[in-house]
Structures are given as structure tokens and as C-alpha cells.
């Protein structure tokens, strides 16, 4: 309902009539404000006013005067009209219907004026709604219960390519692109015929044959008896967003294929066997691994897990992996990891709004010296299966990379004669199914001790991933030392 709408009213009438008008004004004050001019004789307004109340005092008014009133007022209300057939014919011809014959009771005037207000309110609301529908940057379509179009706003006409005359009394099915199956429309109709709101995306075809995407809501409209008699569809054209999304999807797929080419291949020689498995939260994840045999006797491995997902995390992981590859050729393991950490801490100091934090495992295996070195920086435990079938843990005794400039890193060291396998993984393995860390370690220890190489990764993933949806990047890497 409208609130505080102003009505400009000219009154050429008695004070008694004005008093009755004031009574109505008080009762309708929350909806209307009356701007009243009390005139002794007719004075035409400069612009068209809403209403003139004209007391005829029992005398008929010439038709040309009535014509002037109609031109300067939206509505005309006559009181004390004469019993003159010709007068009523002239008034009807000019669509003047608010007339009280002489004599009338004050209650009659109040009742007639309230009737005027009722129709005025409906007219104003209709005008406002039509203006909203016409200027709305959403498609608005009204259909009957059989789905035949009763109204479509200009925005829908534009995206559909049809005029309103071409759409009226037709089914929206004329826009079908045949991208939706029968079940799609069956579910839609079952929803709205049941009196419920349907939400979804239409892929339709315009008159010129172009596809357009609409994110739409269809709402059943009920009458006073509670029965559905109309369906209102409000849609948002998302064609541009969908095309951009499709384009981005293709670019992401290309980026994924490029990243896959940068990942290490499975490696096997007479000394070592390296393999891994990865599952990504999205097309471009934040996990990355590196494996290389720098010499015939020295091997390097890194597992990097950037906190976060998406393109930015993948770029960080790629950058750090490249740094590890370049620096480990000339520096020892401690100096290499420190250099990576210095880069991250400097970036975080320069850009405090969004910190970059990384967990990582860095391993050097040297068959010439017959030893291994492991730096665990904020990462889950590295599991080592020993020759005597016991399990050792290379836990994190260093902070996350990017937190602070750490000069010396704690390094787990040991003899290659004692170790049989290394198992590294990211926390997404157990967090995706909300498994506790202690339980995860128990499962992994059992797997490392008893599972064969052939189905190792499938069995581990089956033990952890009971849910269909992966909530984080998952990486599992296994290094086996051959005797």
C-alpha cells in the first residue's frame, strides 16, 4: 500500500463539504496528504491537479465547461447535481462518474470520496508497478495457470527478441533450446503446481537463434481464495557471466595441463623408487611436489602445501618449487629452505593484508654418504618404515614458512641402511573426511607396513575418503629405498 501520497484537490463547494473532506483526510492521513485549495469560483490550475470537487447547487453545467475541467483535472466530482438527463449524458461522454444528485447526505459524500480514493490507490499502484516492471533490469513474465504468457516486460522482450504481441498468449516453450530434458520441465511444473517457488537456470534460445542464460525464480500467485491463478517469473540474464565462466574454465583446464607437465614423473632406478598420487580441491590446487636425481647418487624431494586454494596458491607453490630446484644445486638443505622462507617472510612484511604461509617437507637422500636429511616445516609427520619394520616419525620441529626468519632448521638425519620407505602426505588426506590426526597416523602406519605397492594409493584413499566431496588438495608421496 502506498504511503503519504499527495493529492492536489480544488474545492468549489460549501464549508460543510470541506468539513466532511477534512474528516476523511484525518482517517486517511497515514496514506495520503491532501493539498486543498478552497475556491469561491473556478480558477484553473497551472498544471493538472488530481481532483476538483464542484458544487453545482442544482444547476446544470455547460458541456464545454465540463470539457475544460476534464482537461485540467484527473477526476471531477460533482455534488448537488440536477435531475437533468442531458447533463448526465454529457458527463458520461467525458467519463465523469463521481456525481451526487441534489440533495445528498454528508455520509453520501464521504462514501463517494472513499470510492474515489480506492480507485485512485489502485491506479497509482498499477502505474508504479508498471513503471518498475518497464524499467527493471530483470526479465519479468506473468503467465496463467496453463503457462500462457499474460505479460512480459521490455527487458524480457529485448533478450528474447520477441515483441509483447508475439509473446502474448504463447507458451514460454517457444524459447526452448532443447538443452533441458523432459525431467527438467517435469520437476519445474510439479514444484510450482504444488504452490512452491522454483529456482533454477534456463538455457533458452532467442528469436534470432542465439542462446541466452537466465537465473530465474518462478513464484505461484494466489487469489483471495488461496488458489494459484498466476505464475510470476523473475529472471536475471547471466549469459555474459556464463560465457566468461566457460572461457575461464577452458583457461583453467589449460593451466591444469601445463601444471601437470611440471610435476615430476614416477622414477625408478636400481637405488630408489619414487611415486605419488594427487587429488585437487579445484582445477588448480595449492599442493606441489618436486623430485630429482641431482647426481647418480644424490636425490632431492620437496612437498609444498600452500595454505589456500586456486590460482594464486598454485603460483606460489610453483615459484617455491622452482626456488628449491635452483638453490639445492648450490646450497645445502638448510640454506635452501631458509632462502625460501626469507622470500615468503619478506612478501608477508610488504603485504600485511594477505599473508602467504606454507608447510613443507624437504628431503635429501645421498647414497654416497649413505644418509638422508629431512626438514619438516609445519607439515604433518613424515613416516619412515625402518628395515626392522618399525615406524619412525619425522615430525615438524620448525615453524610454518613465511612466519619468521628462521636461521637454523632442525634436521632429521639417519642412515640409508636403516630405512626402507618414506611416506609424505598433505593434511587434506584426513581433514577432507574430518578424521583426527592421531587416527590418520594409525591408518598410515598400517598402510605403510602392510600394503603392497600395486594398490597402495587406492587403498589409502579408500581408507580416508568416505565422502564424495574433497574439501582440500590431497597429495601422497612414497619413496622406497632399494637394497
SS3 track for 17-61: HHHHHHHHHHHCCCCEEEEEEECCCCCCCCCCEEEEEEECCCCCC
Please tell me the predicted confidence (pLDDT) of residue 248: 54
Helix (H), strand (E) at residue 198:
strand 198-205
- Position 243 pLDDT exceeds 70: no
Please tell me the predicted confidence (pLDDT) of residue 314: 76
- Paired with 279 in beta bridges are 474
Cβ-Cβ contacts under 8 Å for 367 (sequence gap 6 or more): 271, 297, 298, 416
248 occurs within a structural domain: no
Looking up residue 79, the CATH number of its domain turns out to be 3.40.50.2300
Evaluate the CA torsion angle 16, 21, 27, 33 in order and state its sign: negative
Task: Kindly indicate the confidence band of residue 247, based on its pLDDT and cuts at 50, 70 and 90.
Answer: low
C-alpha cell at 295: 647426481
Total structural domains within the chain: 3
193 occurs within a structural domain: yes
Please tell me the predicted confidence (pLDDT) of residue 446: 93
Please tell me the predicted confidence (pLDDT) of residue 29: 62
Q: How many whole angstroms separate alpha carbon 447 and alpha carbon 423?
A: 10
Tens digit of each residue's pLDDT (9 = 90 or more) over 25-41: 777 766 778 888 999 88
Q: How many whole angstroms separate alpha carbon 99 and alpha carbon 91?
A: 9
Contact yes or no for 207/184 (Cβ under 8 A): no
200: containing domain: 139-237
Residues 110 and 151 occupy one common structural domain: no
- Paired with 376 in beta bridges are 361
The 8-class DSSP code of residue 401 comes to: B
Mean pLDDT of 172-194: 91
3-state secondary structure of 278: strand
Angle made by CA atoms 162, 165, 166, in degrees to the nearest 5: 45
Residues 288 and 416 occupy one common structural domain: yes
> 138-141 contacts: CB < 8 A, separation 24 or more?
138/234, 138/235, 138/236, 139/214, 139/216, 139/233, 139/234, 139/235, 139/236, 139/237, 140/232, 140/233, 140/234, 140/235, 141/172, 141/232, 141/233, 141/235
What backbone phi and psi angles, to 5 degrees, belong to 18?
-65, -40
Beta strands 287-293 and 298-306 are: antiparallel
End-to-end distance of the chain based on CA atoms, in angstroms? 87
Residues 300 and 436 occupy one common structural domain: yes
DSSP for 117-158, please give it.
Answer: HHHHHHHHHHHHHHHHHHH-SSEEEEE-TT--EEEE-HHHHH
CB-side neighbour CA atoms (13 Å) of 443 = 18
Place of cell 529472471: 235
Task: Kindly indicate the confidence band of residue 23, based on its pLDDT and cuts at 50, 70 and 90.
Answer: confident
Looking up residue 163, the CATH number of its domain turns out to be 3.30.450.20
Burial of 15 (0-12, 13-18, 19+ CB in 10 A): exposed
Contact yes or no for 287/260 (Cβ under 8 A): no
The 8-class DSSP code of residue 173 comes to: G
Tens digit of each residue's pLDDT (9 = 90 or more) over 384-443: 999 999 999 999 989 999 988 888 999 999 999 999 999 999 998 888 788 899 999 999
246 occurs within a structural domain: no
Residues 467 and 327 occupy one common structural domain: yes
Residues 92 and 148 occupy one common structural domain: no
Q: How many whole angstroms separate alpha carbon 160 and alpha carbon 167?
A: 10
DSSP for 367-400, please give it.
Answer: TTTTEEEEEEESPPPEEEEETTS-EEEE---BPP
Residues 270 and 411 occupy one common structural domain: yes
285 occurs within a structural domain: yes
Q: How many whole angstroms separate alpha carbon 447 and alpha carbon 452?
A: 9
Residues 128 and 147 occupy one common structural domain: no
Residues 320 and 403 occupy one common structural domain: yes
Residues 106 and 207 occupy one common structural domain: no
Mean pLDDT of 262-282: 85
C-alpha cell at 101: 444528485
pTM of the model: 0.53
Task: Kindly indicate the confidence band of residue 259, based on its pLDDT and cuts at 50, 70 and 90.
Answer: low
* 255 closest CA partner among 282, 230, 277: 282
Amino acid at each position: 500500500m502506498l504511503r503519504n501520497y499527495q493529492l492536489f484537490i480544488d474545492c468549489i463547494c460549501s464549508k460543510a463539504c470541506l468539513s466532511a473532506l477534512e474528516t476523511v483526510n484525518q482517517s486517511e492521513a497515514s496514506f495520503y496528504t491532501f493539498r486543498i485549495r478552497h475556491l469561491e469560483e473556478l480558477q484553473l490550475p497551472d498544471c493538472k491537479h488530481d481532483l476538483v470537487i464542484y458544487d453545482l447547487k442544482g444547476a446544470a453545467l455547460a458541456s464545454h465547461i465540463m470539457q475544460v475541467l476534464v482537461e485540467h483535472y484527473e477526476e471531477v466530482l460533482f455534488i448537488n447535481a440536477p435531475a437533468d438527463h442531458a447533463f448526465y449524458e454529457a458527463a458520461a461522454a467525458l467519463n465523469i462518474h463521481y456525481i451526487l444528485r441534489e440533495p445528498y447526505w454528508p455520509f453520501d459524500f464521504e462514501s463517494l470520496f472513499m470510492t474515489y480514493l480506492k480507485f485512485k490507490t489502485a491506479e497509482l499502484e498499477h502505474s508504479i508497478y508498471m513503471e518498475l516492471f518497464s524499467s527493471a533490469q530483470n526479465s519479468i513474465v506473468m503467465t496463467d495457470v496453463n503457462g500462457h504468457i499474460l505479460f512480459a516486460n521490455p527487458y524480457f522482450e529485448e533478450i528474447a527478441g520477441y515483441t509483447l504481441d508475439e509473446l502474448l498468449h504463447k507458451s514460454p516453450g517457444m524459447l526452448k533450446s532443447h538443452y533441458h530434458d523432459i525431467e527438467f520441465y517435469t520437476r519445474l511444473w510439479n514444484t510450482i503446481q504444488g504452490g512452491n517457488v522454483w529456482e533454477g537456470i534456463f538455457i533458452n534460445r532467442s528469436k534470432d537463434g542465439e542462446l541466452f542464460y537466465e537465473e530465474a525464480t518462478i513464484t505461484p500467485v494466489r487469489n483471495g481464495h488461496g488458489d494459484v491463478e498466476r505464475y510470476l517469473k523473475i529472471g536475471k540474464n547471466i549469459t555474459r557471466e556464463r560465457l566468461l565462466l566457460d572461457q575461464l574454465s577452458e583457461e583453467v583446464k589449460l593451466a591444469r595441463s601445463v601444471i601437470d607437465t611440471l610435476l615430476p614423473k614416477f622414477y625408478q632406478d636400481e637405488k630408489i623408487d619414487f611415486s605419488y598420487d594427487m587429488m585437487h580441491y579445484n582445477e588448480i590446487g595449492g599442493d606441489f611436489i618436486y623430485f630429482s636425481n641431482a647426481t647418480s647418487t644424490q636425490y632431492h624431494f620437496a612437498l609444498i602445501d600452500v595454505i589456500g586454494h586456486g590460482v594464486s596458491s598454485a603460483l606460489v607453490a610453483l615459484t617455491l618449487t622452482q626456488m628449491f630446484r635452483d638453490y639445492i644445486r648450490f646450497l645445502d638443505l638448510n640454506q635452501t629452505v631458509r632462502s625460501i622462507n626469507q622470500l615468503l617472510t619478506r612478501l608477508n612484511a610488504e603485504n600485511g593484508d594477505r599473508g602467504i604461509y606454507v608447510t613443507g617437507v624437504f628431503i635429501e637422500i645421498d647414497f654416497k654418504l649413505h644418509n638422508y636429511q629431512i626438514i619438516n616445516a609445519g607439515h604433518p609427520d613424515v613416516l619412515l618404515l625402518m628395515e626392522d619394520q618399525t615406524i619412525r616419525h619425522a615430525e615438524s620441529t620448525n615453524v610454518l614458512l613465511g612466519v619468521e626468519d628462521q636461521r637454523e632448521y632442525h634436521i632429521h638425519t639417519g642412515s640409508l641402511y636403516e630405512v626402507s620407505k618414506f611416506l609424505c602426505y598433505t593434511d587434506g588426506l584426513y581433514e577432507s573426511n574430518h578424521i583426527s590426526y592421531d587416527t590418520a597416523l594409525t591408518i598410515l602406519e598400517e598402510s605403510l607396513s602392510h600394503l603392497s605397492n600395486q594398490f597402495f594409493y587406492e587403498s589409502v584413499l579408500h581408507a580416508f575418503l568416505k565422502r564424495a566431496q574433497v574439501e582440500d588438495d590431497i597429495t601422497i608421496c612414497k619413496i622406497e629405498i632399494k637394497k
